Amino acid sequence: MKGLKMTIAKHTINTILDTLGENDFVNVIAYTDYVRYVEPCFKGTLVQADLDNREHFKLLVDELHVKGEAKIKKAMKESFKILNEVSNGQGSMCNQAIMLITDGAMMDFESVFEEFNWPERRVRIFTYLIGREMTFAQNTKWIACNNKGYYTHISTLADVQENVMEYLHVLSRPMVINHDHDIIWTEAYMDTLFTTKAQSLLLMTSVAMPVFSKKKETLSHGILLGVVGSDVPLMEVMKLAPRYMLGAHGYAFLLNNNGYILAHPDLRPLYKDGKKLKPKPNYNSVDLAEVEWEDTEEMLRTPMVKGETGSNSLNVRASVDKGVRDPSCAALLKVICYRT
């Protein structure tokens, strides 16, 4: 795999990474005569597909180069081993998939599926055949069709975006058939809010849900039509907090189901670059434990991430004198956890 085919393969990987979010877990394996994790520190595990990890993977993928002969069988075995570890109590086990990106597949892989994936076919396999050559199309199509996946042929860079998205329709079918309409709130992001008087850069979140076809003739196929969503300024959400219950030194904050802060008095997402305000890198992946730093045993973070209701209390250091922290001054913080 050289030249244009390698460029298309890298673009395909990066496009797949762009479809993932904080609730997904991922790893990238390069395979030749042997299996190599593009990030050795992540060997044998899956990592959260947050912005930092996705961008890190993209940089490593861009550095990949060709050497040796591709042995798909070894790569498949390693992939199934990782997913088997996940099945033993890690993660939600909602959907498991392997994306195989190749310019050819020899007939040496059936025994791997018999050992790891058949007859349950718990792991879906999506195959992406790169380049104009169709010699191995039947083999790569067989892999996908016999493992509840989807086969895609990508011959040009222009094909990548549309063809990569097909896997989302396959993974969404059980949700459509079961009429699951999960509502998703995104991580915090910066966007410009235009008003009649001015425009300002604000922290926002989006609420979204899938739109399914309800036609009788398509119900058994589970067709995902698209996604509907709305942007919400986080300052509007914070207005719903009952401030009169929080006390003189109390404050409200929001975090998502991964423990990342959506809104908090100590979260400062912008910095001045000359005269212009710009978002800080990684402002949307600040963990609650980094701000409520006295919560060492996660008495507060864990129940909030799990969506529990009620109240909790813990001792914290109070900040006085324009932000100078006084170690002798302690305050009792009563936290009320609200669920939307």
Output the CA torsion 68→71→77→78 (10° steps): 20
pTM of the model: 0.82
Which residue, 150, 97, 130, is CA-closest to 8?
Answer: 130
Q: What is the 3-state secondary structure (H, E, C) of 162-215?
A: HHHCHHHHHHHHHHHHCCCCCCEECCCEEEEEECCCCEEEEEEEEEEEEEECCC
Give the pLDDT confidence score for residue 333 in this predicted structure: 44
* Among the listed residues 135, 73, 149, 80, the one whose alpha carbon sits nearest the alpha carbon of residue 103: 135
> Taking all residues of the chain, what is their mean pLDDT, rounded to a whole number?
84
Q: Which two tokens stand for residue 243?
A: 């401030």
Does residue 17 register a pLDDT over 90? yes
pLDDT for 60 equals 97
Residues 49, 35: Cα–Cα separation, whole Å: 21
What 3-state DSSP class applies to 312? strand
The pair of three-digit structure tokens given for residue 301, joined into one six-digit string: 């973070």
3-state secondary structure of 259: coil
Say how far apart CA 254 and CA 260 lie, in whole Å: 9
* Range in 128-142, 143-157, 176-190 with the lowest mean pLDDT: 176-190
- Whether residue 109 is predicted with pLDDT greater than 90 in this model: the reply is no
Residues contacting 318, CB < 8 A, separation 6+: 249, 326, 329, 330, 331
The pLDDT of residue 334 is above 60: no
Q: Quick one: average pLDDT of 47-61?
A: 93
Q: What is the pLDDT of residue 194?
A: 76
Strand positions, DSSP E, the chain? 25-26, 29-31, 35-37, 47-48, 97-102, 124-130, 150-154, 184-185, 189-194, 199-212, 224-233, 254-255, 261-263, 270-273, 276-279, 310-320, 324-337
The architecture in CATH of the region 4-177 reads 3-Layer(aba) Sandwich (3.40)
Give the orientation angle of helix 4-18 with respect to helix 51-62, to 10 degrees. 180
Lowest-confidence region among 24-38, 135-149, 178-192, 226-240? 178-192
| Predicted pLDDT at 196 | 66
Both tokens of 261, joined, read: 């802060």
**pLDDT computed for residue 163 by the predictor:** 93
pLDDT score recorded for residue 169: 85
- Does residue 46 carry a pLDDT above 70? yes
Report whether 312 contacts 297 (CB < 8 A). Answer: no
Residue 331 binned pLDDT confidence (cut-offs 50, 70, 90): very low
Res. 290: pLDDT tops 50: yes
**Least confident among 62-71, 124-133, 196-205:** 196-205
| Mean pLDDT computed over 164-176 | 86
Please indicate whether residue 149 or residue 307 has the higher confidence score (pLDDT): 149
**Quick one: average pLDDT of 271-279?**
81
Pairwise pLDDT comparison (264 vs 324), residue with the higher score: 264
User: Which pLDDT does position 229 carry in this prediction?
Assistant: 94
- Which pLDDT band, with edges at 50, 70 and 90, does 328 fall under? very low
Query: Which residues are bridge partners to 151 per DSSP?
Result: 127
**pLDDT tens figures, 171-202:** 888 777 777 777 888 888 888 887 666 677 88
Segment 52-68 shows an average pLDDT of 91
- Residue 12: what pLDDT? 97
**Angle, vertex CA 145, rays to CA 141 and CA 147, nearest 5:** 120
What value does the mean pLDDT take over residues 323-328? 50
Measure the CA–CA gap between 143 and 124, rounded to whole angstroms.
10
Query: What mean pLDDT is predicted for residues 30-49?
Result: 93
Average pLDDT over residues 28-49: 93
Question: Mean pLDDT, to the nearest integer, of 194-218?
Answer: 81
Distance from C-alpha of 110 to C-alpha of 126, rounded to nearest angstrom:
15
- Taking the C-alpha atoms of 301, 306, 312 and 315 in order, what is their torsion angle to the nearest 10 degrees? -10
Q: Which of 304, 311, 209 has the alpha carbon at shortest distance from 262?
A: 304
Integer Cα distance of 253 and 260 in angstroms: 11
Q: What is the pLDDT of residues 217-273, one digit of tens each?
A: 776 777 888 889 999 999 999 988 877 777 777 888 998 888 999 999 888 888 877
Whether residue 93 has pLDDT greater than 80 = no
Domain residues of the chain, as ranges?
Answer: 4-177, 184-234, 236-337
The strand pair at 124-130 and 150-154 is best described as parallel
pLDDT of amino acid 63 = 94
